[in-house]
Amino acid sequence: MISNLDIKLRNNVNVIGQGEKTIMLAHGFGCDQQMWRFLTPMLEKNYKVILFDYVGCGKSDLSSYDKTRYSTLKGYAHDVIEVCEALSLENVIFIGHSVSSIIGMRAAILSPSLFSHLVMVCPSPCFLNFPPEYLGGFEKEDLVELINLMDKNYIGWANYLAPLVMGENNDSEYIKELENSFCSTDPKYAKPFAEATFFSDDRAALLQLTVPSLILQSSNDNLASQEIGCYMQSQILNSKLNIIDAHGHCLHMTKPEAVYNALLRFID
């Protein structure tokens, strides 16, 4: 059985802040905990903040990588639960970006007693189109081609995806940072995570979520439209939807104050 120390090392867990309430920040695909640096100064004044990297990302322990475990989002959800248990956490306010919203949802369904609130930043339960009842934004063949590009031209894949995700209207430094983050992640770990992210269909799980949830969507997002936010709000029993006037898929970087203010209104 893996020890608490091994779990902390495995996921490069860092704890900052001194508040009574605990917030866990979970990064999106191809990123790491550094992407939360615009939000953490606001949070650490009043909350204990848990930061971590998924295995294969950032400064995680790469020797802990398990191809089978991390071939689906379920494996990452179990990691979230194990980190919470290793730190003896309870009543956690979980904030997940993009795919981490769904990973957090899976964790909250498996262990609802661990979490008091779930905040989803630019989430999508399914990126695939299933017309006419659901439009996730992408045809399967387009996503297959995007994944295959990782094998053919990994740098080209990163160059294409970074502005699509960050939003071309945002600071070019942010786009370059995201591109560099993609490039710094070994394709051996990035490709399975990408496949788990883009080909998962978690629409049915929305109905199982009982933890109070806040959905934060960007008004202009190439990956997750406002309609997806509306769909999720209609499916999650105890949920609220907040559309933030912004471009791109990374509200925690481009609009951290808006995310922070929405969070405070929600948990208060």
Q: What amino acid positions are annotated as catalytic residues? A: 98, 221, 249
Looking at the DSSP bridge assignments, the partners of residue 118 are: 94, 213
Alpha helices (H) in the chain, listed in sequence order: 4-10, 40-43, 73-86, 99-110, 140-152, 154-166, 172-184, 187-199, 226-235, 251-254, 256-267
CA 244, 249, 255, 258 torsion: positive or negative? positive
> Is 58:83 a contact under the CB 8 Å cutoff?
no
Q: Report how far residue 163's alpha carbon sits from residue 178's, in angstroms, rounded to the nearest whole number.
A: 8
Q: Report how far residue 224's alpha carbon sits from residue 99's, in angstroms, rounded to the nearest whole number.
A: 11
Residue corresponding to tokens 């978690």: 202
Sheet with 21-26: strands ordered across: 14-16, 47-51, 21-26, 92-97, 115-121, 213-220, 239-247
Left (φ > 0), alpha (ψ -120 to 50) or beta: where does 163 sit?
Answer: alpha
User: Is the link from the previous residue into 132 a cis peptide, with omega within 30 of 0?
Assistant: yes
Left (φ > 0), alpha (ψ -120 to 50) or beta: where does 17 sit?
Answer: left
| CB hemisphere CA count around 245 (13 angstroms) | 0
